[in-house]
Amino acid sequence: MKVRVRLFAIAKQTAGRETVDLELAEGATIAELRARLAAEVPGLAGLIGQMLFAVGARYAPEEVAVPPDVEVACIPPVSGG
């Protein structure tokens, strides 16, 4: 199945693009999406463990299955002051 991952902040800058289209097996989990994204965009490997993922409008834990034809938001850690 095809999944579009939307990148924000440092993840977007590091990847040099706003979105990454991934091909995942049916029933793939957020953990599998995370691993595939790191393989597809090696520059994100150092950040990938700290990123949160949201499916629709909800944050999704590692074990959640990614539905087909969905956009997943990839939210890197933020800092501020």
Q: Delineate the domains of the chain, giving CATH numbers in brackets.
A: 2-75 (3.10.20.30)
Q: Model confidence over 2-11: pLDDT tens digits? A: 999 999 999 9
Q: Which long-range contacts (CB under 8 A, 24 or more apart) does 49-58 make?
A: 50/76, 50/77, 51/11, 51/75, 51/76, 51/77, 55/30
Which backbone phi and psi does 7 adopt, to 5 degrees?
-100, 150
Q: Model confidence over 21-77: pLDDT tens digits? A: 999 999 999 999 999 999 999 999 999 999 999 998 889 999 999 998 889 999 988
